[in-house]
Structure 1
């Protein structure tokens, strides 16, 4: 196969080239004191394999790193690898069934021990363990073996040709963990390894000195970090909790913090904050979609624990595609976008709105149709038989528990959507949960988005890089969170369609870029407009803020926002 068929968007550099210190700011490591970051969704764990929450993935990215990651243009850069493997450089086999990573020979863990291929192989074993639950399992889709011919070589073999072999070990969601530290944490034991999960030994620019879950993390510069003079900061304070408003003010108005993530606020609110003169808001569009997930299983508390929200019990009314479609038709996405995001949002009907080649020509949902929604429910036999304003059928009422994380914009969305649903005869109870808990992944908590003890839930997430294959693979049959996976898994709505899985397999072995785009759009349509198990609302720009005194920040919508924290520095007055 020709190189043009090997798809992953772009590779910025196949050989490693250290980043230059911005604006000539050179000096000793730790020269700039403390840097303060605030994520109003507080991290609850520092292991991305046990949490799909962005807050956990990105805080962990300061400590543990992948073999390669994506820059702000969506181009792949080597990090712990010496180069990005391709067909052209011999790193990817001609038949596309193997990828060989060559590791840098100058990397050590923060405890001073050598970083080797054994750590990479162990990471795969950790995530792929049959008795465990891995939040990033889709990254290893199709992997049959990971071999280590020597200390600096890793060979990944797939079950069929993989034109995009960059799922495992690439991006902030798939970092390398230390084999020695996690050796006793395989399978069902993974959530029990508190010390390792809260304080992973890493290769990144910082090390954990104290972690208080759902509150604050303190870090120090990694004295064994591979680049001389980096990081510029001797310590890092990572504060979690509060809300987006307080986070924005702490950077833009008071200057108390240097970086605030995810300012999910109305645009006029952000503009007013910027008048404080302490910082600047930054924004960039990628595939970050605020959406509704429809639970296809029954979350009723009347079911025994361990059976709620599992495939053994179909949902009493959301299993009806016409109900899901009517709920979508009732929504005014343009108004939601105006209220919540302004120019930092675009109404969308797609789960994958970017890159453009994967953006389906799917605009039907953009027009609100309350009358059409009512007619569809009538046609499906859902009528208000007792005159209480709520439709019912066979003794089942259209009564929805609709949950999301606590956030002003999301609560505005909930209120509007509840009103629209009421107009079509659907009763809605609103529930909002602390983001640290909702996105935390604690298998013992009833309130996580993975456990999904509600009928509908709303959130946004995205994927690393410019290829959505692993993102779409999340909805493969069997990927749903369940008791025997410690409630980890990416198939949140419990969707299962063998035709979808077959199309995923076709995407995995397709190299032609145009054909991949066509298949990707079909997959998107199957879970959105064709079935409405996912109801997209708004394609959100990532909006964050940094202080005027913080240099080196480069917003990245294709990987962790903190991807280049080693290059941050304090500007002179």
Structure 2
């Protein structure tokens, strides 16, 4: 019987010799090389130009925010001296400003001073109307960002902001060096290859070489603010392959120290763990595997306006259609074959924390006959007898269903295709390299931002325990489009005035219970109006070598958030 990841981790710690304490002291770089494998290979190291977790986490080795979330979901100061609150005077009584105080003495990896001007610049970079910022919702409601002195940043909002911790908080909102990115504003952002591939940062490592969609080599940042850290002199960050190869490389062959996102069936993980060289670590946060439904028409005949608000989708905006598609899915079976105890059926976009997990919908029972009847009643019938229904306007109900290349996702695709074809749709499957699919290349037709398909399947999550910023991904103006260099978080192109208005209300609402109630209502509005079909609430599962100490799996921020504290356990 497979032990839980927590049990395995505990057992490993019990076997650690007393040299464990040595990992917390000593010279910087004393432990040689650290090897990471992310089977979704990074394609860029500027998180503002990619919505892909693999790019955001790789960039976090260099680029840091003012504050972030620890492994318990608690906000902790990072480059800032403390967390501003009303009580300590950092947040104004009227909730319209937040003042951050930066730790003195921090320098960039090139030895120059890190100042409030860099923070101000980062806001201007992401908020530039001529550019596209993949995490622009972090700056929703920001009126201005000022730097009255080198160590003070004042963010002013356009109204009261009970949760003012969007800008500069979490792995998706780090600080860029103003001097390095000065010529990369607006439409020029995506053209700055050197800056986007080799960012100067304040983090524990610096880039030595970046081979896009392949490997990153890094060295310890000699200007890092904490003495004796990082323990590793170099890092090899390998991308590509698949989840199975990554798991084996850590737990069976010992080639790598850390393997990320092991999206594998439970029995596969158990077999790998038996290799004795590594330990799986898992935890449930807000990660949800979902089907994103394109609200716009991806027909290539539309040219540059395909998958934009100029052309509504011919049938996916119809409640009868997206409800029938959801009814046809056997979610308990998907959980069983894909994740076992590392997955749970969910009907919600926001599945965690528990306070914001809505109970409005039920979706744990498949109903193929009900789905067929719903489509029939709405006028979607097979008029020519070819087994494919047509819309009332006569267009065949054909779906291009895309996802990243991964064994579990391809299993899901095959089953969902079978179910949807049983209720009368034609379904074409396509899988794309994760490095490309989750990349931010505005020139690629295959990114999740372009959404040149009818349905995308993937999972993502948010930082911390307050979903306000994440729920902003459903706002009308956050849809990727040519004018934003195809950046933006609203992948479905969902647009509903009532949703935008309720989200604006959330931004000005105080009190945990009242905020949770609005968050649940926004979840219900988005899911109930066809923005997505949630499938599985996934636990994060990764693995580390038994010789690697300091790892604390974090489901609320970057998994490698505390990599400066990692060290090699003595043999």
Q: Does TM, normalized by the shorter one, top 0.5?
A: yes
Question: Of the candidates 355, 373, 376, which is equivalent to residue 375 of structure 1?
Answer: 373
Residues 19-418 of structure 1 mapped to structure 2, 5 A cutoff:
23-25=21-23, 26-304=25-303, 306-393=304-391, 394-418=393-417
Rounded to whole Å, the distance in 2 between the matches of 1:55 and 1:95 is 38
The number of aligned residues is 551
Shift of residue 565, structure 1, vs aligned partner: 0.1
Shift of residue 533, structure 1, vs aligned partner: 1.9
Rounded to whole Å, the distance in 2 between the matches of 1:362 and 1:426 is 28
Q: Deviations over 1:516-555 (max 9, x none)?
A: 1100000000111x21221000000000000000000000
Q: Normalised by the size of structure 1, how large is the TM-score?
A: 0.95
Rounded to whole Å, the distance in 1 between the matches of 2:395 and 2:317 is 13
Name the counterpart of 1:7.
Answer: none
> 1:406/1:165 Cα in 2 relative to 1: closer, same or farther (>3 Å)?
same
Rounded to whole Å, the distance in 1 between the matches of 2:319 and 2:43 is 35
Q: Deviations over 1:167-191 (max 9, x none)?
A: 0000000000000000000000000
Shift of residue 363, structure 1, vs aligned partner: 3.9
Rounded to whole Å, the distance in 1 between the matches of 2:73 and 2:87 is 20
Rounded to whole Å, the distance in 2 between the matches of 1:533 and 1:146 is 33
Q: Normalised by the size of structure 2, how large is the TM-score?
A: 0.96
Contact 2:207 2:218 in 1 (8 A): yes
Contact 1:348 1:363 in 2 (8 A): no
Contact 1:324 1:533 in 2 (8 A): no
Would you identify which runs of 4 or more consecutive aligned residues in structure 1 move more than 4 Å? Answer: none
Q: Deviations over 1:39-75 (max 9, x none)?
A: 0000000011000100000000011000000000000
User: Counterpart of 1:220 in 2: which secondary structure?
Assistant: strand
Contact 2:104 2:151 in 1 (8 A): yes
Contact 2:316 2:530 in 1 (8 A): no
Rounded to whole Å, the distance in 2 between the matches of 1:432 and 1:362 is 32
Contact 2:96 2:157 in 1 (8 A): yes
Shift of residue 321, structure 1, vs aligned partner: 2.0
Q: Deviations over 1:477-525 (max 9, x none)?
A: 1110000100000000001111001100110001111111100000000
Name the counterpart of 2:539.
Answer: 541
Contact 2:20 2:570 in 1 (8 A): no
Shift of residue 476, structure 1, vs aligned partner: 0.6
Shift of residue 366, structure 1, vs aligned partner: 1.6
User: Counterpart of 2:477 in 1: which secondary structure?
Assistant: coil
Contact 2:297 2:312 in 1 (8 A): yes
Rounded to whole Å, the distance in 1 between the matches of 2:500 and 2:272 is 47
Shift of residue 137, structure 1, vs aligned partner: 0.2
Rounded to whole Å, the distance in 2 between the matches of 1:323 and 1:302 is 23
User: Counterpart of 1:32 in 2: which secondary structure?
Assistant: coil
Name the counterpart of 2:433.
Answer: 434
Rounded to whole Å, the distance in 2 between the matches of 1:46 and 1:358 is 32
Rounded to whole Å, the distance in 2 between the matches of 1:571 and 1:355 is 34
Rounded to whole Å, the distance in 2 between the matches of 1:22 and 1:222 is 24
| Cα RMSD (Å) | 0.9
User: Counterpart of 2:399 in 1: which secondary structure?
Assistant: strand
Residues 492-503 of structure 1 mapped to structure 2, 5 A cutoff:
492-503=491-502
User: Counterpart of 2:145 in 1: which secondary structure?
Assistant: strand
Residues 508-523 of structure 1 mapped to structure 2, 5 A cutoff:
508-523=507-522
Name the counterpart of 1:453.
Answer: 452
Rounded to whole Å, the distance in 2 between the matches of 1:377 and 1:34 is 58
Contact 1:328 1:532 in 2 (8 A): no
Rounded to whole Å, the distance in 2 between the matches of 1:149 and 1:380 is 61
The unaligned stretches of length 5 or more in structure 2 are 1-18
Contact 1:22 1:552 in 2 (8 A): no
The unaligned stretches of length 5 or more in structure 1 are 1-20
Rounded to whole Å, the distance in 2 between the matches of 1:478 and 1:176 is 24
Name the counterpart of 1:8.
Answer: none
Q: Deviations over 1:85-115 (max 9, x none)?
A: 0111100001110000000111000000000
Contact 1:177 1:202 in 2 (8 A): yes
